[in-house]
Amino acid sequence: MYERKLIMGFVRVHILHHATSPEGTYGLWMIQELKHHGYQISPGTIYPILADMESEGLLSSYEEKSGGSIRKVYRATKSGRSVLESLKIKVEELYKELNE
Ligand SMILES: [Zn+2]
């Protein structure tokens, strides 16, 4: 369905936003967070997106021990932050126009 295509763009914006927090974000946390917003995103979808965004230079990652396993935590890079800043303006403009 076409809606899905657009939603995946929103998902990337969410990731970028949460990756700017000092503690960063990780796959499972993002899945829960997106669920609160009404998005059903599986691990098979979120992990490739995170990896993509890292190879695009928007995110950087480090490994963190949690219990017995290791999780990959992602933080926005300088270029990720500047992309987010310009997206914020575009999202705001779009929102205004849609609600005129
Ligand atoms: Zn969010």
- Mean pLDDT in runs of 10 for the chain (100 residues)? 89 97 96 94 97 98 91 97 97 96
What burial class does residue 20 get, using C-beta atoms within 10 Å of its C-beta: 0-12 exposed, 13-18 middle, 19+ buried?
middle
pLDDT attached to residue 2: 86
CB count, 10 Å around CB of 19?
27
All residues with CB under 5 Å from ion ligand 1: 14
Q: What is the pLDDT of residue 75?
A: 98
Gap from CA of 93 to ligand 1 centroid (Å): 19
pTM: 0.91
Domain CATH code at residue 88: 1.10.10.10
pLDDT of residue 70: 93
Range of the domain at 60: 2-98
- Ligand 1 centre to CA of 70 (Å) is 23
The count of domains in the chain is: 1
CB proximity list for 54: less than 8 A, separation 6 or greater:
60, 61, 74
Q: How far is the CA of 26 from the centre of ligand 1 (A)?
A: 12
Q: What is the DSSP letter of 41?
A: -
